[in-house]
Structures are given as structure tokens and as C-alpha cells.
Amino acid sequence: MSEQKIENLSFEEAMNELDTVVRRLESGNIKLDEAVSTYERGMALQKHCTQKLSTAKAKIDLLITDQKNIIGTENFNDTETA
């Protein structure tokens, strides 16, 4: 399996790879050193997925409905989180 940089993976790609990581670790047919590096990648994939979901949720939370029931969005990149 050629490993892509995690930050370049879509949410779906990262979830699929994370599923593969879990199955490999659960199989028990993996050497200790490889298991540790696989676990580390799995943790990084989990963090990436969590960040992607968090970003998506923040964007959805910015959806606003005005008095005319016209749906728009605020510019997500220009908002500050305190």
C-alpha cells in the first residue's frame, strides 16, 4: 500500500484507510514494529478525520436564514473563533 500524505486525503479516503488499519491491527498477523507504526498512522488518520468533520460542522453552523427565508452563508474563512 503506497501511503499518501494524510493531509492530502479526503475524509472518505482517510476513513477507508483507517478501516484498513483497524482490520490489520485486529488480525494479529503483523510484527510489533509494523504494528506500532500502523497504529501511529491510524491515530493520525483519526485526528485528520476529526478535523475534517469539525471544519464541516463549523461551516454548516454558519448557515443563516434571513427574514425572507433566503439561505446564505457567512464567509467561513473571515470569522474568528475566540
Per-residue model confidence as pLDDT tens digits over 49-69:
999 999 998 888 776 544 455
pLDDT digits (tens, 9 = 90+) for 7-20: 999 999 999 999 99
d(CA 66, CA 76): 17
Alpha-carbon torsion (26, 31, 35, 41), positive or negative: negative
Question: Which grid cell sits at 22?
Answer: 483497524
d(CA 67, CA 18): 43
Q: Are strands 71-73 and 63-65 parallel, antiparallel or unpaired?
A: antiparallel
Q: What is the pLDDT of the chain when averaged over all its residues?
A: 84
* Residues in CB range of 66: below 8 A, 6 or more apart: 72
pLDDT of residue 41: 97
pLDDT value at 1 more than 50: no
Q: Which fold has domain 6-77?
A: Helix Hairpins (1.10.287)
Is it the case that residue 77 has pLDDT exceeding 70? no
Whether 47 has a pLDDT exceeding 50, the answer reads yes
